[in-house]
Amino acid sequence: MRTIYWENDQVKMIDQRRLPAALDIIACKTHAEVARAIKDMTIRGAPAIGAAAGFGLALAARQSPARTPRDLLADLQAASTLLRSARPTAVNLAWALERVMRCAESKTNLSADGLREAILNEAQAIADEDVQINKRMAEHGAALIDDGDTVIHHCNTGALATVDWGTALGVIRTAHEQGKHVHVLVDETRPRLQGARLTAWELEQYGIPYEIISDNAAGHFLKTGQVQKVLFGADRVAANGDVANKIGTYMLSLAAHDNRIPVYAVVPTSTIDLSLASGDLIPIEERDPDEVLGIQFHGESVTPREAEARNPAFDVTPNRLITAIVTENGIVYPPFDVNLSKVVKVK
């Protein structure tokens, strides 16, 4: 099943906050509800967020009382501003909103209802294309996986992070389906534990062997020769190949680089932001400290009552630590500032 889809004038999505305890589907009836679902991580993962944003605009168009294309565009712009503010780091959010808005602005010759239909069609196209893009990415990336490899995977990059199939985990899934024996060490990915909760759950569905490790154990497994590859996704890639991904990716990449283990980021070209020269310009979302302070062990809080916390959701891995970036248009090797633009421009 898809992580997110349109049904009966509603946006349906898997509630990722409930996994692995329960597989629940929620319905969003307004673009404000979609924005809330993005912000509170009911839906997460850069490609999935992009699809959600597109469908959010389709909801806004349906609910707008506008009778003319011009008035409808004004309502869509307001909805786009709200949706864009939900998660600042993932570039796919802005990319999808801009794509749908360009579509709307190019079809003002239609009636208001005709424009509403065109907007929904464009949002659906973004979702459908995501699945095909992920499968192409997975085919390219699977060529990097050897039979018998043990891979460290950070965060969640599977079908749950996309409309379907996945990015980095999609590569592992494809290699598995090709008959390669792959073992995955799953970083917990604190503080929200997307690895322990979501990646582990997906790997069980696919029948891929895995073990969960604490984030700070990765260096041990890399140094002792128990890992052959490191894979993760990204929420934004700068023009020079710097990668913004879930917090902890930088430390993992440093340890892999020190032990000469290849590090691969797997991203659709919609995640590559050529407008930013380097990762220093990528906005880093800082989330509610309660995500850190609310962690419990055996039912009791692990922190003192008056403790404070910092909770950046992402960090930036310098391009020098990245072996290659896998996209739907092929595998990109350094120099990234030269080669990334070549795959982004491929239609």
Question: Which residue matches tokens 């979702």?
Answer: 127
Task: Judge contact between 28 and 5, C-beta under 8 A.
Answer: no
Domain harbouring 218, CATH code? 3.40.50.10470
332, 196: one domain:
yes
Question: Which residue matches tokens 């079809």?
Answer: 107
H helices present in the chain, as ranges: 31-39, 46-63, 69-84, 91-105, 112-142, 168-177, 194, 200-206, 218-223, 249-258, 290-293, 336-344
Task: Judge contact between 153 and 187, C-beta under 8 A.
Answer: yes
Q: Which of 130, 149, 164, 235 is catalytic?
A: 235
How far apart CA 259 and CA 178 sit, in angstroms, is 28
Of 102, 119, 135, the one marking the end of a domain is 135
178, 241: one domain:
yes
**Mean per-residue pLDDT for 97-119?**
95
- Tally of structural domains, the chain: 2
149 included as an active-site residue = no
Task: Judge contact between 259 and 223, C-beta under 8 A.
Answer: yes
Q: Which residues 6+ apart lie within 8 Å of 97 measured at CB? A: 53, 54, 57, 80, 83, 84
Domain that holds residue 324: 139-344
Of 90, 108, 135, the one marking the end of a domain is 135
114, 163: one domain:
no
Kind plus residue range of the DSSP H or E element containing 263: strand 263-266
In this predicted model, what pLDDT tens digit does every residue of 304-339 receive, in sequence order? 999 999 999 999 999 999 999 999 999 999 999 999
| CA nearest to 247, candidates 193, 312, 201 | 312
**Mean per-residue pLDDT for 107-114?**
93
In this predicted model, what pLDDT tens digit does every residue of 203-244 receive, in sequence order? 999 999 999 999 999 999 999 999 999 999 999 999 999 999
* Residue 347 confidence class, pLDDT cut points 50, 70, 90: very low
Interior CA angle at 199 toward 124 and 90, to 5°? 50
pLDDT of 129 higher than 60: yes
178, 96: one domain:
no
pLDDT recorded at residue 96: 95
Share of the chain above pLDDT 70, in %: 99
pTM, to two decimals: 0.93
216, 266: one domain:
yes
